[in-house]
Amino acid sequence: MKIFWEGLFKKNPVLVLAMGLVPAVAITTTALNGLILGISITFVLLASSIINFVVIPLLPSSSRLAMRALILIVLVVALYGVILHTRPGLVAGLGIFFPFMVADAFRLQNSEDQPTFGQVVLEALGQGLGFIWALVLIGVIRELLGFGSIFGKEIISAVLRPMSLAKGVPGGLIIVGLLLALTNAVNKEGGELHD
């Protein structure tokens, strides 16, 4: 269970490991975008970890890295197709940043390091849920400050002009940077991951 909680908090992919920052800044202008991107990353991480746990040990060591990458690419392309057919407007909003999930998921995978299927699933779920809560948090803050709403529901009727900066990339960078600093302060770490 420790491996699950580490993915959520102590080794959160976004707020501690600083992974997925480009999509976090570029896409999560709303809580819904953060939720959809987080769910997508969780699906890719979980599915690829399970497939890798089963398939990779059967392959020679020289082809394992390529197969891991291929599995991730196939999953992301399939997910991209599903989202394109169900929510084409979202794909336009996600743009080029959606395929970056392949790189983030690839760097997070440790399925060969985990001896049991349960540990592989717990690690992937912890990291995926860590992505979800971090991206939704970023999206909620940006949507509230930039649009005066959360998940599309109006909370504040008058949005302050300076706060509309949160809608753009510069505001996203500032918010993500402040959340990273807050996470480091809470974890009492100086920005590096100490194992």
Q: What is the DSSP string of 36-80?
A: HHHHHHHHHHHHHHHHHHHHGGGS-GGGHHHHHHHHHHHHHHHHH
Mean pLDDT, residues 153-164: 75
pLDDT in the model for residue 155: 83
pLDDT over 80 at 81, yes or no: yes
pLDDT in the model for residue 179: 92
What are 91-102's pLDDT values in tens digits? 777 777 777 766
What confidence category does residue 119 fall into, taking pLDDT thresholds of 50, 70 and 90? Answer: confident
Of 7, 61, 37, the C-alpha closest to 137 is 37
Average pLDDT, the chain: 83
Mean pLDDT, residues 44-63: 89
Number of residues that make up the chain: 195
> Considering Cα of 139, then 46, then 110, then 127, what sign does the dihedral take?
positive
CB within 8 Å of 120: residues ≥ 6 apart: 49, 50, 52, 53, 111, 114
Residue 154 in 3-state DSSP? Answer: strand
pLDDT in the model for residue 142: 92
What confidence category does residue 117 fall into, taking pLDDT thresholds of 50, 70 and 90? Answer: confident
pLDDT over 60 at 111, yes or no: no
